[in-house]
Amino acid sequence: MQCQAQRGDPRPVGIMDSGAGGLTVVREVRKLLPHESILYFADAGRLPYGPRPAEEVRTFVYQIVKFLSGKGAKAVVLGCNTATAHALEYVREKVEVPVIGVIGPGVRALASSPVRTAGLIATEGTVRSGAYQMAIKERLPGVEVVAEACPDFVPLVEAGLVDREEIERAVENHVQIFRKRNVDALIMGCTHFPLLRPWLEAALPGVRMVDPARETAEELKRVLENAGLANAPRGDTESSGAELEFYTTGSVGDLNRQITVFLGLAGARVHHVDISML
């Protein structure tokens, strides 16, 4: 038993998103848990999730979690706020592996420093669900929440952040309400949105940016350790045998390009998944 504990559990962790936004979670997991292998699933063929009915999102997320667990994932992170808002509890009841969302970690990250008025940028589905608003009220009852749906942000990120002028216009259009309400923190409540952080910081100087991805990686670490699922490091370096594998219902070429831009990795193993096979 002792030898088994030292070896750890080498099975991969699954991370899913509607597209490339969950790569921000992959980035933080790789920093914190460099010895954990990762399976990433981008449901780009059904992007975006934000405008979709909650029941449809639940169905999609359940299909993907089943796919990842079938590939050997020992735990799955819903690296998508809309998926977390609509499907976290539903999926947890249906699968055997631990499933982690990003909204709880986002609220914990918000609570790490004093805040009076918090801004929230997210998809229409996440804002409409009220999941963040309820979670903040429960943990920080005195904090006012100003929520703004930003459906145009996701396509800008998926396109690779190439149109800088359009990004600036879109950001300016959505941050005006936060200036008027004098928010002191802004939750980037969609995993795509931290990739817009330079523009958000420029538009809202002095406002603390809250990225749930780091705290999500911390929660994954706690869950793996508490369940005895953590992999044991092979040495002192980050080159510890961890593998990355990617799946998409969209374009393999698009995801490969996004992986190169957002993670700095070239030549990643990306596989296409036919939606009808999920």
Active site residues: 80, 190
Burial class of residue 271, CB neighbours in 10 A (0-12, 13-18, 19+): exposed
Sheet of 185-188: strands edge to edge?
Answer: 144-149, 117-122, 185-188, 208-210
For residues 59 and 87, what is the distance between their CA atoms, to the nearest angstrom?
8
Q: Which pairs from 217-223 meet CB under 8 Å and 24+ separation? A: 217/25, 217/28, 217/29, 217/31, 217/32, 217/33, 218/32, 218/105, 219/100, 219/104, 219/105, 220/13, 220/29, 220/32, 220/33, 220/75, 220/77, 220/100, 221/32, 221/33, 223/75, 223/98, 223/100
Amino acid at 20: A
Q: Cα 61–64–68 angle (5° rounding)? A: 140
